[in-house]
Amino acid sequence: MTSGWAAVLARSLTDLRRPVAAWATGVSAIVLLESALWPTVRDMPRLDDLLAGYPEALTEAFGLDAMSTGPGFLEAELFSLVLPGLFIAFAVTWGTRTFAGEEESGALGPVLASPLSRAAVCTAKAAALLLALATLGLVVAVVTTVTSGIFGTGVGPARAAVGALALVLLGGELGLLALAVGAASGRRAVALATATVVAVGSYVLYVAALVVDALADVAAWTPYDQALRAGPLTPRVPGSFAWLVLVGGLVLLAALPALRRRDLRA
């Protein structure tokens, strides 16, 4: 049934064309604006004095101590909160909608009554989600690299690629969580709530651990920590990224037996 699997993937990608185009335009604009600000910030007199005046927690959370360098500035302004938030919002919204949402609306009924297995429908949709995120990631990497050349932020292709990969993997894990919970439960609200609680909870824990050292061991298990602790605009791929891939894959796999056994609402 590979042609059926490919058909669901193709159909989902067609569905994603417009949202991906819109989000790509949005994130490009944000990266462009922020990068364009860099020359002004760099030339600010007494920038370091200003930064030293911020509370320690804020400095830690947004990496403000590194803000006097180009990569540090972009990490603080974009890659530690805004872009991860956007990637997660995109992934969770779509992950929720593509299975549980379509099942609740009834549109998935004829698809699930087809010869294609439920697991195949689910994994094809997961593949579409990851491809969409990869496209957004590529856009971020390219725009970051190009604007670096223009505004001198000093983020080369390698750093931009790792930063974008962090966003893709973080969004990917939480998007797959939303998709998996939606597929296992058939309920959009449950999928959305679970992914949101995990995303917000893990962010809070990540930030708390930056201030309270005792939490560091626990926070190391959060997807935020695994994606962002190393920068993420570093020239080399951190080993912690493997956790994001592994957990995302396992979450999806774990949902499949439940999906196979349960009653469909479609």
Partner 1 sequence: MGEHDRGAPRVTRAPCGPALETRSLTRRFGRRVVLDGIDLTVARGSVVGYLGPNGAGKTTTMRIALGLLRPSSGEVRLLGGGRPSQGATRARVGYLPGDFVAYPSMTATDYLSYLARLRPPFDARTTTTLCERLRLDPDRRIGTLSHGNRQKVGIVQAMMHAPDLLVLDEPTAGLDPLVQHEFLALLREARDRGAGVLLSSHVMSEVEAVADTVAIIRDGRLVAVDDVARLLATAGRRLELTFTDAVPLDALRTAQGVRHVDVTGRTASVEVTGSTADLLRRAAPHGIERLRTHEPDLAEVFASFYPPTGECR
Contact residues toward partner 1 (CB under 8 A) are 1, 3-4, 6-8, 11, 15, 105-107, 109-117, 261-264, 266
Q: What is the DSSP string of 153-217?
A: ----HHHHHHHHHHHHHHHHHHHHHHHHHHHHH--HHHHHHHHHHHHHHHHHHHHHHHH-GGGHH
Q: Return the number of the residue (15 or 60) whose C-beta is nearest partner 1.
A: 15
Q: To the nearest whole angstrom, how small is the minimum distance from the Cβ of residue 128 to partner 1? A: 14
Q: To the nearest whole angstrom, how small is the minimum distance from the Cβ of residue 117 to partner 1? A: 6
Q: To the nearest whole angstrom, how small is the minimum distance from the Cβ of residue 123 to partner 1? A: 14
Q: To the nearest whole angstrom, how small is the minimum distance from the Cβ of residue 106 to partner 1? A: 3
Rounded CA Rg of the chain:
20
Q: Return the number of the residue (33 or 264) whose C-beta is nearest partner 1.
A: 264
Q: Return the number of the residue (138 or 266) whose C-beta is nearest partner 1.
A: 266
Q: To the nearest whole angstrom, how small is the minimum distance from the Cβ of residue 105 to partner 1? A: 6
Q: Return the number of the residue (126 or 162) whose C-beta is nearest partner 1.
A: 126
Contacts of 223 by beta carbon, 8 Å cutoff, 6+ apart: 170, 173, 174, 198, 202, 243, 244, 247
Q: Return the number of the residue (5 or 54) whose C-beta is nearest partner 1.
A: 5
